[in-house]
């Protein structure tokens, strides 16, 4: 795969480049090794029978390559409580796919809400002092058009982050839009 666009929020790109140059190189190396194949045959009404790129197959490649480079899952498990409410919910968690040192990486081929929720998770781990920067790897619009309906695209995420200005997320983030070679 290839990188077609990069967006730096609150200095995310700069932090990665200056403080974590080896991590940045590893992230680009992983992206360049992903090979997307049209292995999913659509059953959807609007694309019935059309061969699409498989998010599961690409995610599996990302997982294998990031794991080889020493990235691990980050998971905080806690009991959820809220003010003035007696209910406690144990076993709740926040999870990031890949972390190495204080660099968080999420690969998101899901619905738009999950892309935006990744920003909230970056914020959570940043607030817990477990992250210096988050990296969100997402499909560009052109790739999204060749995947199942419901898969979102990074241009929408960047557009919304731009409009929220510095208010959310209040954590340095680098958004990387990818496409097939």
Q: What is the mean pLDDT of residues 162-167?
A: 86
**Reported confidence tier of residue 101, pLDDT bands at 50, 70, 90:** very high
- pTM of the complete model: 0.92
Residues 21-59 have pLDDT tens digits of 999 999 999 999 999 888 777 676 766 777 788 888 899
- The pLDDT > 90 percentage for the chain reads 76
- 150 vs 54: which has the higher pLDDT: 54
Between residues 122 and 42, which one has the greater pLDDT?
122
Q: Which domains does the chain have, with CATH numbers?
A: 2-179 (3.40.91.20)
43, two tokens = 């059953």
pLDDT value for 93:
96
pLDDT of the residue at 44: 67
**pLDDT score for 88:** 97
Q: 178 pLDDT exceeds 90?
A: yes
Burial group, residue 27, by CB count within 10 angstroms (0-12, 13-18, 19+): buried
Mean pLDDT, rounded, for 110-138: 94
Q: Helix crossing, 55-68 with 21-33: angle to 10°? A: 140
Integer angstrom CA distances of residue 114 from 43, 89, 133: 23, 22, 18
Q: What is the DSSP letter of 134?
A: E
Residue 11 belongs to what H/E stretch?
none
Burial class for 123, CB neighbours closer than 10 Å (0-12, 13-18, 19+): middle
Q: Is the pLDDT of residue 13 over 90?
A: yes
Ranges 50-59, 97-106, 115-124: which has the least confidence: 50-59
What pLDDT shows up at residue 118? 96
Tokens of 99: 């972390």
Largest Cα–Cα distance in the chain? 54
């Amino acid at each position: 795969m290839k990188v077609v666009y990069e967006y730096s929020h609150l200095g995310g790109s700069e932090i990665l480049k200056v403080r974590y140059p080896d991590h940045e190189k590893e992230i680009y190396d992983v992206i360049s090794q992903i090979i997307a194949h049209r292995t999913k045959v659509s059953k959807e009404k609007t694309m019935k029978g059309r061969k699409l790129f498989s998010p599961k197959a690409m995610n599996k490649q990302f997982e294998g390559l990031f794991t080889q480079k020493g990235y691990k899952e980050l998971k905080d498990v806690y009991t959820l409580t809220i003010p003035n409410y007696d209910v406690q919910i144990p076993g709740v968690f926040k999870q990031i796919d890949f972390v190495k040192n204080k660099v968080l990486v999420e690969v998101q081929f899901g619905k738009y809400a999950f892309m935006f929720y990744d920003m909230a998770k970056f914020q959570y781990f940043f607030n817990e002092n477990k992250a210096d920067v988050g990296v969100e790897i997402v499909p560009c619009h052109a790739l999204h058009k060749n995947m199942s309906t419901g898969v979102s695209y990074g241009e929408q995420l960047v557009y919304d982050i731009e409009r929220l200005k510095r208010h959310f997320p209040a954590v340095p983030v680098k958004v990387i839009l990818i496409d097939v070679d």
